[in-house]
Amino acid sequence: MEHFDVLTEVNPFGYSVKSNGTIADTMKVHEEPWASFIAAARAKKIRVIPTLMWSNGADIHRILSNTETRINLEDSITALVNGEEYDGIEIDFEGKYAETRPYFSTFLRGLYQRMGKKWVMCDIEPRTPISSRYEGTPPKGAGEYANDYSAINKYCDRVKIMAYDQGSIDVKLNAANFGPYIPIADSTWVEKVVNLTAQTILKKKLVLGIPTYGYEYNVTSLSEDGYRYTLQWAFNPRYALDLAKEFNLTPVRNFAGELNITYFPAVPPPPDANPLDLPKALAQTTASDGTFNIAWWSDAKAIAEKVALARKLGLRGVAIFKIDGGGDPALWEALPRR
């Protein structure tokens, strides 16, 4: 609530869809802290558009491919939005099958028709151009997706590109950057993603999703060029800064415009380790197998760079993922004022 002067909209991550197609109030909207949060946002004239999250591809296909259950879901969402006086709904259905594409488009059309002046927002995947995803001839089905961007452009008032979790998907950028390269979101890659998306979805509808977190990987140098990355966990920036301080490391501004540190763990961490509970046995001594760890994250400067990119590309705006108190405290200075 302290930084409401920066925000025009909030998307509480609070509803999901059950396997039977009904909606679950996972955030318990009428309980604290959400009741006060939503009231404060409305007092500041900030749009409240909650996220409806669903990530079970089989359930999504079963519900949306059946006319009766699909319509029931469209009606339920509309009733929820109107009943709670929200400004719209954010649809974040992830893990969909390619064969679900026409049914998801039909669902969006039906929802859009029902919602009237309430906004239908949709979260979409960041598509890397095929020429940047593969070396040589792309495999069969490389350009097949679960989302129909044309339908999304037609039936959604706003479209959020989840332009993060780049990892190693862009083979051209992997080859162009020396040393370990496993970004959260390199601005060069983000620009490729946006330009491809804008061929189908109007820029005036596009909102750029910007990450505030990081990932740690165990890295193995390969005998040939390159590295193999094994994901350890996601983290908020404070974890990496504390680790750097403990072992007298200086975070480096890398080729992606983000920060990273590398170190050699003395003992491989257990597979279920929590980064907040890591023992002090993480020492800067070479591991016996020659591997090392890299922690890579997005800070306020990286966020400011994405904000500037969104402005340069003429997008509607930006969305910060996520705001939970764990991001770089300076991120608020990177955001434009209302």
The pLDDT tens digits for 18-72 are: 999 999 999 999 999 999 999 999 999 999 999 999 999 999 999 999 999 999 9
C-alpha span between 201 and 199 (Å, rounded): 6
| H helix or E strand, kind and range, residue 200 | none
Q: Residue 229 to residues 170, 217, 226, 273, 275: CA-CA distances in angstroms?
A: 14, 6, 10, 17, 17
Residue 327 has pLDDT above 60, yes or no: yes
Nearest-Å Rg of the Cα atoms of the chain is: 21
Strand partners, 188: none
Contact 146, 104 (CB under 8 A): yes
In this prediction, residue 90 carries a pLDDT of 99
C-alpha span between 212 and 196 (Å, rounded): 24
Per-residue pLDDT band for 163 (boundaries 50, 70, 90) equals: very high
Per-residue pLDDT band for 271 (boundaries 50, 70, 90) equals: low
Q: Cβ atoms within 10 A of the Cβ of 235, count?
A: 21
For residue 200, give both structure tokens. 């189908």
Q: Where are the alpha helices (DSSP H) in the chain?
A: 34-43, 57-64, 67-83, 101-115, 130-133, 149-155, 171-176, 187-197, 237-246, 300-312, 331-334
Per-residue pLDDT band for 1 (boundaries 50, 70, 90) equals: low
* Domain residue ranges of the chain, discontinuous segments joined by +: 4-212+299-334
CATH topology of domain 4-212+299-334: TIM Barrel (3.20.20)
pTM: 0.91
In this prediction, residue 213 carries a pLDDT of 98
> Rounded mean pLDDT of 309-320?
98
